[in-house]
Each structure stands twice: as structure tokens, then as C-alpha cells.
Amino acid sequence: ATHNLLLLPGDGIGPEVMAEVKRLIEFFNKKGPNRFVYEEGLVGGASYDADKTSISDVTMEKAKAADAIIFGSVGGPKWADVPYEARPEAGLLRLRKDLDLYANLRPAVTYPALADASSLKRELVEGLDIMILRELTGGVYFGEPKTITDLGNGQKRAVDTQVYDTYEIERISRVAFELARKRNNKVTSMEKHNVMKSGVLWKEVVQQTHDREFKDVKLEHQLADSGGMQLVKNPKQFDVIVCDNLFGDMLSDIAAMLTGSLGMLASASLGEVDPKTKRRKAMYEPVHGSAPDIAGKGLANPIAMIASFGMALRYSFDMGAEADLIDKAIAATLDKGIRTADIATAGEKTVSTTEMGSAILAE
Ligand code: NAI
Ligand code: MG
């Protein structure tokens, strides 16, 4: 099959790490049978410099038409004073919003060679491979009313509102169960039904979706606070964790710290199934930003970007074997002691972005 990608390298180290993904695309195109055709577009500061907007309508149309978007990173001091609506981050937010990317996937994977670099005990994190799935477009970050009111007696009142409708919980649950089927077939749903009505509905809808459509997947429910404790105490018990926007924000950052450097963390955001292609709208991106402090120096770690591309293969294109190949190549490269500066320990020899890319490609 032929797959259409839109590459949006963005700013700072974005283009540097995206260059390593292009080499992987060439590799897989030679290997076959799947072929990738890609176009490149401008986003963030790079787009502002060219078109005075953080993403043009033309690029948005391409994003909507693509089978998947591979995104680098945006932002930097150069654009600190551009008008608010044209700031680099606005391009990323528009992509998420216009494509309705409501499911945020944040894997936490520990590579054996880096297990000691984690702040936690080796036996706890060695071989860790879990996925935090965070609802991204609803919940308390967006619910109305959202106000601060002056009560007039020297007191103010702040109100945020957690709102979830059945359909929002249903669609994120479906993504969770679909992911689990491509992984280790287990979903843990986390909420606080003991104190929150949204938690009651969350638990109920996840269970119903399971019983109706995904009986083959193992489902567990945990309260989000003790679930967070379990995540740090015994993370390997989990496969896919699904939760709302707020709990997901916290739990995914906690899980990230089980594994180490920002330069290693991949992510994906998924939306609805496109009726024509039968594929979910999807954007894959590293968790890190544009790293202005190291941009242009060839120092960036391309692993987060490469692993994000690996997620595209697994979750958009059913190329699980090829995605495994990428993961194994990363692990083998790290096993050989090859390190970019961000993951090296003091005194260790380090390699450049391109050298890391070459080493992974060779594996
Ligand atoms: P950052 O992630 O760009 O950098 C934080 C620190 O981690 C820096 O010291 C950087 O050198 C290091 N780092 C990040 N990625 C690395 C990699 N691949 N290899 C080696 N080292 C790496 O976050 P920061 O500094 O808070 O933000 C810089 C700019 O990026 C800002 O304009 C911010 O708004 C933007 N940003 C964009 C994001 C995106 O495009 N999704 C996400 C986060 C920040
Ligand atoms: Mg966060």
C-alpha cells in the first residue's frame, strides 16, 4: 500500500530530528511492500516567517488530507514578540483542534541500556513498556463555567467545571481497547468515581463499551490516586492506562519520569476514523520542544522523533513488525553505548544527531 504523510518539521531542532525520519522513510520505501509518499509543510515560527501565520490554510488542507502527520516542534525566542494569534504554538493548537485529535498517546518505555539512568530502581523499570492514553479535548480544562468571581468581602471564588458526555468517554475508550489489541490486551481505566460524578459516568461508559465491543480485552478499574501510586510502585503491571484530561496530564508526566530524558519521549494524538480511508486522523510528535539552546548544533537526540514515527507505523499503518524493528534498532544502538549528550553520563563519548540516526539505521 502507499501511505501519504505530511511532514511538519517546524522550528529549532525540529528540522534536525525530522531529517533522521526522512532517512528511515527512504529505508522503508526501499524495503517495501509499504511505500510512503510525503510532502513537507511549514508550521510555527517557520510558517510565520514565510506567511505571517503559524499555519496556513493550504497546509491545514494538506494536514486534513494526509494519512498521518509527522510533527517536529515549534517555538523559540525569535518569535517572542509576534502577535498572539500568530505565535508558533497556535499552529500546533489549530492542528489538534481542527482535526479533533482527542486521544493523546504517551508511551513510557525503558530501554535496557538506560535502566540505570532512571531515577528509580532498575528492577522496577527494566523492560517497562506501557501506554498512557489521555483524553485531550474535554474535561476540566475546557468545561464551562470557568471563572474567577470577586465575592466582595476580600474573597474571590475560582470555578472550573469538569464536563464529560457519554460520546466523549465512549470514543476515548474505543481508542484504548484498539490500542490494547495491538499491544498486550489489557486496559486499566482510572477515575475517581468515589468523589466525582464524572468519574461515575466514566467508569460506567468504559465498562459498557468494553462489554459491547471489546470483550476480548482485559479491563480493570482503579481510582486515579492509588493508580498513581501503583504506577510508581509497580509500573509493569499496566499495559494501557486510560483517563481524563486532568489525570492523564499528571499520570503521563509521572510515567515519563520512569523512563528518563525528554529526548526519548514519543507521542501521538488520534481523532475520528476517516470514512474514506478507515483510518483515524493522526499526528505523531516528540514530547520535547524546539530546544533553542542546542538548535543548529547537531546535538539533538533524534530518538523521540524516530520513536514517534515508529508509533505511526504501528498505530496508523498496521506495520507492527516494522515498528518493532525500529524499537529494536534503538535498543541495540543504546546497548552499544552510543549516546547523544542528553543521555550520556559524565565523561562518556557522545555522537551527533546524524550519527545517532545512522547508527539506528544500520541496526
Ligand atoms: P524543550 O523541550 O525545547 O527543551 C527543554 C530542555 O531539554 C532543553 O535544555 C533542551 O536542550 C533539552 N532537549 C529537548 N529536546 C531534546 C532532544 N531531542 N535532544 C536533546 N536535548 C533535548 O522545552 P523548552 O526549553 O521549555 O521550550 C523551548 C521552546 O519549545 C519554547 O518556544 C516552547 O514553547 C517550545 N515547545 C514546543 C513544544 C512543541 O512543539 N510540541 C513542546 C514544548 C515546548
Ligand atoms: Mg503536562
pLDDT-derived band at 126 (thresholds 50, 70, 90) equals: confident
Half-sphere exposure of 228 (CA within 13 A, CB side): 15
Contact 342, 263 (CB under 8 A): yes
Residue 65 alpha carbon to ligand 1 centre in Å: 28
Residue 337's Cβ-count burial label (10 Å; 0-12, 13-18, 19+) is: exposed
Residue that has been written with the C-alpha cell 502527520 in this structure? 69
* Catalytic position from the list 11, 102, 192, 203: 192
CA dihedral of residues 169, 171, 173, 174 (deg, nearest 10): 160
Express each pLDDT in 261-303 by its tens digit.
788 999 999 999 999 888 999 999 999 999 999 999 999 999 9
Contact 68, 34 (CB under 8 A): no
Q: Does residue 203 have an active-site annotation?
A: no
Task: Please report which helix (H) or strand (E) contains residue 285, including its range.
Answer: strand 280-286
pLDDT at 77: 96
Is the pLDDT at 132 greater than 70, yes or no? yes
Whether residue 246 sits in one domain with residue 128: yes
pLDDT-derived band at 33 (thresholds 50, 70, 90) equals: very high
Is the pLDDT at 125 greater than 90, yes or no? no
Provide the angle, in degrees to the nearest 10, between the axes of the packed helices 353-362 and 320-335: 120
Contact 174, 209 (CB under 8 A): yes
**Which ligand 1 atom is the nearest neighbour of the CA of 76?**
32
Residue 157's Cβ-count burial label (10 Å; 0-12, 13-18, 19+) is: exposed
Quote the pTM value.
0.92
Whether residue 209 sits in one domain with residue 98: no
pLDDT at 122: 80
Percent of the chain with pLDDT over 70: 99
Whether the CB of 72 sits within 6 Å of ligand 1: no
Whether the CB of 293 sits within 6 Å of ligand 1: yes
List the strands of the sheet with 218-223, edge to edge. Answer: 35-40, 2-10, 68-73, 280-286, 266-273, 103-109, 129-135, 240-243, 186-191, 218-223
pLDDT-derived band at 258 (thresholds 50, 70, 90) equals: confident
Q: How far apart are CA 90 and CA 84, in angstroms?
A: 8
- Cell numbers at 361, concatenated: 539505521
pLDDT at 58: 97
Q: How far apart are CA 17 and CA 36, in angstroms?
A: 18
Whether residue 98 sits in one domain with residue 208: no
**Which ligand 1 atom is the nearest neighbour of the CA of 13?**
18
pLDDT at 22: 98
Whether residue 92 sits in one domain with residue 76: yes
CA dihedral of residues 21, 27, 28, 32 (deg, nearest 10): 160
Whether residue 226 sits in one domain with residue 157: yes
Whether residue 154 sits in one domain with residue 174: yes
- Determine the average pLDDT of the residues in 128-139: 95
Residue 107 alpha carbon to ligand 2 centre in Å: 14
Closest ligand to C-alpha of residue 252 is: 2
Express each pLDDT in 152-201 by its tens digit.
999 999 999 999 999 999 999 999 999 999 899 999 999 999 999 999 99
Q: How far apart are CA 280 and CA 101, in angstroms?
A: 9
Whether residue 255 sits in one domain with residue 123: yes
The answer to whether the complex's ipTM is over 0.90 is yes
Q: Does residue 57 have an active-site annotation?
A: no
Q: Does residue 192 have an active-site annotation?
A: yes
Residue 264 alpha carbon to ligand 2 centre in Å: 16
pLDDT at 123: 83
Q: How many domains does the chain have?
A: 2
Contact 303, 113 (CB under 8 A): no
Whether the CB of 209 sits within 6 Å of ligand 1: no
Whether residue 164 sits in one domain with residue 37: no
Whether the CB of 301 sits within 6 Å of ligand 1: yes
pLDDT at 112: 81
* Catalytic position from the list 116, 211, 253, 335: 253
pLDDT at 177: 98
pLDDT at 88: 97
Whether residue 318 sits in one domain with residue 221: no
CATH number at residue 5: 3.40.718.10
Is the pLDDT at 121 greater than 80, yes or no? no
Whether residue 228 sits in one domain with residue 339: no
Phi, psi values for residue 299, rounded to 5°: -100, -15
Is the pLDDT at 117 greater than 80, yes or no? no
Q: End of a domain among 193, 226, 259?
A: 259
Q: End of a domain among 227, 259, 291?
A: 259
Contact 63, 277 (CB under 8 A): no
Alpha-helical runs (H) found in the chain: 14-31, 45-51, 57-65, 88-98, 122-125, 166-181, 197-213, 224-233, 245-259, 303-315, 320-335, 353-362
pLDDT at 127: 85
Q: End of a domain among 259, 276, 296?
A: 259
The annotated binding site for Mg(2+) is made up of 225, 249, 253
- Length of the chain counted residue by residue: 363
Whether residue 231 sits in one domain with residue 132: yes
pLDDT at 114: 82
Computed over every residue of the chain, the mean pLDDT equals 95
Whether residue 155 sits in one domain with residue 88: no
Whether the CB of 15 sits within 6 Å of ligand 1: no
Closest ligand to C-alpha of residue 90 is: 1
Write out the residue range of the structural domain in which residue 210 sits. 118-259
Express each pLDDT in 137-153 by its tens digit.
999 999 999 999 999 99
Of the candidates 341, 291, 313, 201, the one whose C-alpha atom is nearest the C-alpha of residue 13 is 291
